[in-house]
Amino acid sequence: MKRALKRILIQAVSVLLFYAVLLRTLAGTNIVAGIFCPGDHLPHHYPILIGLFVLCRLYIVLLPGFILSRIGKAWLNERNRN
């Protein structure tokens, strides 16, 4: 179970770090305009960064549920082995 908890923690920290980097990168830009009005006024890589930012944000919102479900699953697997 400790191995599963370490893996969950590493995944959560890596997504949080990636989210922080994206947040710093996109902080000075108009993200809303990039989502609703994509076009020539944005650099070509910004729609991809904005999409990754939105996906990371969704993952972070759902992160507590993911962590609790994985801990519960690891606990049940450990319990069934004994």
> 34-63, pLDDT tens digit by residue?
777 777 777 778 888 888 888 999 989 998
Evaluate whether residue 77 is within a structural domain.
Answer: no
Evaluate whether residue 80 is within a structural domain.
Answer: no
Evaluate whether residue 67 is within a structural domain.
Answer: yes
Please give the pLDDT value at position 62. 92
Residue 1 CA neighbour count, 13 Å, CB half: 13
Q: Which helix (H) or strand (E) holds 70?
A: helix 46-81
The number of domains in the chain is: 1
- Looking at the predicted structure, is the pLDDT value of residue 2 above 80? no
Evaluate whether residue 81 is within a structural domain.
Answer: no
Evaluate whether residue 23 is within a structural domain.
Answer: yes
Cβ neighbours of residue 1 closer than 8 Å, sequence gap 6 or more: 74, 75, 77, 78
The model's pTM is 0.69
Burial of 34 (0-12, 13-18, 19+ CB in 10 A): buried
Evaluate whether residue 7 is within a structural domain.
Answer: yes
Evaluate whether residue 33 is within a structural domain.
Answer: yes
Structural domain containing residue 62: 2-71
Please give the pLDDT value at position 61. 92
